[in-house]
Amino acid sequence: DTEVTQTPKHLVMGMTNKKSLKCEQHMGHRAMYWYKQKAKKPPELMFVYSYEKLSINESVPSRFSPECPNSSLLNLHLHALQPEDSALYLCASSSPGTDTQYFGPGTRLTVL
């Protein structure tokens, strides 16, 4: 089973809203990732969690706040976003010591 699930599938929010994206995997992976993908562009890494600790933050604005409550779950809290933050947000996971990442289906976010 190489499934990573993400909810919601679509999200529309205003610039003053607070919302959260959720990601879950049950493959026993101990590294989890958030990526942002704009149309016709490659995925861009935002955050990496390794063993539930934040290990990489790619200089992401503080209006994006990641959280890893346990080894299976990864959240991305959103607050005061801008319209240019509209994108497909992808979650991925990988086993310790491997570089093969498995991606979820993504959340299509639209900021009005």
Partner 1 sequence: DQQVKQNSPSLSVQEGRISILNCDYTNSMFDYFLWYKKYPAEGPTFLISISSIKDKNEDGRFTVFLNKSAKHLSLHIVPSQPGDSAVYFCAASAGASKLTFGTGTRLQVTL
Residue 16 or 100: which CB sits closer to partner 1? 100
Question: Which residue, among 89, 86, 76, 91, has the nearest Cα to 15 in the 3D structure?
Answer: 86
Region near partner 1 per CB under 8 A, out of 12-20, 62-70, 75-83, 92-100: 92-100
Residues 45-64 that bind partner 1 (CB under 8 A): 45, 48, 50, 55-56
Take residue 11 and report the two structure tokens written for it. Answer: 């999200």
Q: Is 88 in the site for partner 1 (CB under 8 A)?
A: yes
Q: Which residues, other chains included, contact 11 with Cβ-Cβ below 8 Å and sequence gap of 6+?
A: 19, 21, 107, 108, 109, 110
* The one among 42, 53, 59, 62 contacting partner 1 by CB under 8 A: 42
